[in-house]
Amino acid sequence: MSSLSAGTRPANLSISSPGVRFHRHAYVVRRSAPYEQEPGFYEPGQLWIYGNVRLLHGELAHIPACFGPPVHRPVELDQIERTAEEVVLSSKILVCGIQSRAHRRAATVPLRWGCPRILVFSGGFRYHLGPDLTQEPFPEASLWRESFDARTDLVISRRAPDKLPTYSHHNPTVDRLIRLLAEGQWVGLNSPVDPLTPFLTAS
């Protein structure tokens, strides 16, 4: 397991606007292999991480309308897409899932604009990204990008890389992880009330 070292606590600034919640923070973990080269288990946060961890230094945003049961009318999906565009065009990093049409609709928007995103999975990385971790995690995404790029995006999961997902279109556990990550409240990773909160870097 890679060695970890804690840094000082981050300064946290919460900002909100209608339909979007975002949070500025920075956090660092030093390890022997960059997360963009291979998945790693981040023990303080009890999370598996793979990809561009530099995104975590940015201003993160999530879309609460994506949460809950996967029953969204077309007009609601259109609004989710517009909100995702507002996030991306404001130079914020969208944090979302892939388990429902609403999450996938949001997750496709950064690809159209050539922007990065943070995806939270219910299963392991090799299930969602393929054995070599290069497949886009859902068909709509592959229309905009041929393969998953760990130098651009970041994926996070509570399950080990080879574990299966829950197969549920409504996953409150994933929704909660998305919200807490975006708001800087995930204990052990970026909680402002955790005195042992480390900083996270790619090195």
* 143 in a structural domain: yes
Cα angle value 108/114/116 (rounded, 5°): 70
Which CATH number is 131's domain given? 3.40.50
Return the number of other C-beta atoms located less than 10 Å from residue 171's C-beta.
22
The residues near 56 (Cβ < 8 Å, ≥ 6 apart) are: 25, 26, 27, 118, 154, 190, 200
Q: How many domains does the chain have?
A: 1
| Residue 66 belongs to some domain of the structure | yes
In a domain, 44, yes or no: yes
Are 128 and 165 contacting, i.e. CB atoms less than 8 angstroms apart?
yes
pLDDT digit of tens for each residue in the chain (203 aa)?
A: 332 222 323 333 333 344 554 444 444 445 557 888 889 888 888 999 999 988 887 899 999 999 988 889 999 999 999 999 999 999 999 999 999 999 999 999 999 999 999 999 999 999 999 999 999 999 999 889 989 999 999 999 999 999 999 888 899 999 999 999 999 888 776 544 433 334 444 44
- Secondary element (H or E) of residue 13: strand 13-17
Which is nearest to 7 in space by CA: 192, 186, 191, 197? 197
State the residue range of the domain holding 107.
Answer: 13-182
pLDDT of 168 reads: 85
Cβ atoms within 10 Å of 13's Cβ, excluding its own: 11
What angle is formed at CA 161 by the lines to CA 88 and CA 63, rounded to 5 degrees? 25
